[in-house]
Amino acid sequence: MRRLKGLVVDWVLLTLFLLMVEFLALSFSGSRGPTGLLVTPEETLDLLHYGWCAALGLLVAIAWQSLRGVRRESPGHALIFGEETDEAIPWTHTLRGWFTALLIELTFLTGWLITEVQLFDFLTQFNKATDIVRGLVAENVFALFLRNAGEVPAQSADVLHQGLVLLVQTIFLAFMATAFAIPVAFAMSFFAARNLTRTTSLSRWMYTLVRAVMNITRSVEPLVWALIFISWVGIGPFAGVLALWVHSVAALVKLYSEQIESIDHGPVEAITATGASTLQVLRYGVVPQVIPPFLSFTIYRWDINVRMSTIIGFVGGGGIGYILKPRVDLGQWGEVGTLVILIALTVWAMDIISAKIRERIV
């Protein structure tokens, strides 16, 4: 069984290795697609021989598994069975070391091609973006210092006013989402902590269930949740609160439960030994140990929610994003800049405040 696990690891690694080799070979040979043009990286991905690579990978993996000795051992074997020797052998002296190094190099090269990295454009074409940057920065910053108050266009003052009002909404939106998330995440985190859910089969089931639901919830972007809740409760800040709430619960359950898993087991033993019931053991043995980190995580989450709630408005979930989106679409960079600066100042302030509070309680 363990040898099989090692074999699977080797198989996956070798298949990836072969696929990347083929991808790079195709890319650098400049092969042409059906249209006669040079193939793009995406088209190259379609041309790879996945089946053949997997088959060849399996063969090599089996062959490698049969090799023994530290210097020739396969990565999978070493990973599952651990090092077979005490002496420290530098990676350059093992087959596995060279293979791993090459795999990392290949991954980086493949990544470079697939994401179409263009270093030259990045370094030389800044002038194409100057309009936007000038709008974002210059029109706002210089307006403050260089122009007389009377010369500020009425439009800009209007955006500033609207922005400030919606900023208040944004902060409260984030606050309410966090506040609603705390009790739910707190209760659920105990079921999501491995060390508390080992005793009965019911609790093991709860662990698996809570973990699964939370992982799925967390992997759905808040923007998607916002769309769901906008249909549910209508356009407006409450939909945004719900979207951030769901996402915060999932994130906090993960952070909380990992904290619970890392507690000192001693007090739990001591309280259990007095004949206390499960709830009492949690109250005395677990809760006192996790309260400070929980507070810290929660404030950090509020901080994240403030940043996210600016985006939630893009789809109609309330907050400052609601007036930001149309201005981005229309390219009104001066007004976008005003709003972005407002958001930046808020996030900055939140960051300072939350850092100070966390410093105090931990």
Partner 1 sequence: MTTEAVRVEGVSKVFDPDIQALTDVSLTVEQGEFLVVIGLSGSGKSTLLRCINRLIDPTAGRIWLFGEEITAAEGARLRALRTQIGMIFQQFNLVRRHTVMSNVLSGGLGRASLFGSLLMRYPEEERRRAVAALERVGLGGRGGSRADRLSGGQQQRVAVARALMQQPKLILADEPVASLDPALRHSVMRHIESLNRDEGMTVVCTLHDVDLVQRYATRLVALRDGKLVYEGGPSDFDADTFRDIYGADAEPATDMLLGTEGATP
In the list 130, 208, 215, 277, the residue contacting partner 1 (rule: CB under 8 A) is 277
Nearest residue to 5 via CA among 73, 85, 65, 70:
65
Identity of the residue, 69 or 266, whose beta carbon is nearer to partner 1 in the bound complex: 266
Using CB under 8 A, pick the residue from 25, 55, 291, 352 that binds partner 1: 291
Stretch that binds partner 1, among 10-18, 212-220, 254-262, 275-283 (CB under 8 A): 275-283
Q: Which is nearer to partner 1, 192 or 281 (CB)?
A: 281
Output the CA–CA distances (angstroms, integers) from residue 211 to 34, 188, 195, 222, 353, in the order listed: 47, 10, 14, 19, 32
Which residues, numbered 230-269, are part of the site for partner 1 (CB under 8 A)? 266-267, 269
In the complex, the smallest distance separating the C-beta of residue 199 from partner 1, rounded to whole angstroms, is: 10
As measured in angstroms, the least distance from the Cβ of 276 to partner 1 is 4
CA nearest to 71, candidates 46, 48, 53, 98:
98
Stretch in the footprint of partner 1 (CB under 8 A) among 53-61, 127-135, 280-288, 332-340 = 280-288
Distance, in Å, from the CA atom of 204 to the CA atom of 198, rounded to the nearest integer, reads: 6
Binding partner 1 (rule: CB under 8 A), the pick from 164, 270, 345, 349 is 270
Rounded least distance, CB 262 to partner 1, Å: 15
Distance CA 64, CA 60 (A): 6
Angle between helices 333-361 and 139-146 (to 10 degrees): 90
* Smallest distance, partner 1 to C-beta of residue 20, A: 37
Burial of residue 162 (CB within 10 Å: 0-12, 13-18, 19+) is middle
Q: Transcribe 228-265 into DSSP letters.
A: HHHHHH-SSHHHHHHHHHHHHHHHHHHHHHHHHHTS-H
Which residues have C-beta within 8 Å of that of residue 346, sequence separation ≥ 6?
A: 167, 170, 171, 306
Site stretch for partner 1 (CB under 8 A), options 64-72, 166-174, 252-260, 281-289: 281-289
| List 60, 243, 244, 271, residue binding partner 1 (CB under 8 A) | 271
CB nearer to partner 1: pick between 146 and 362: 362
**Binding residues vs partner 1 (CB under 8 A):** 266-267, 269-277, 279-280, 283-285, 288-289, 291-292
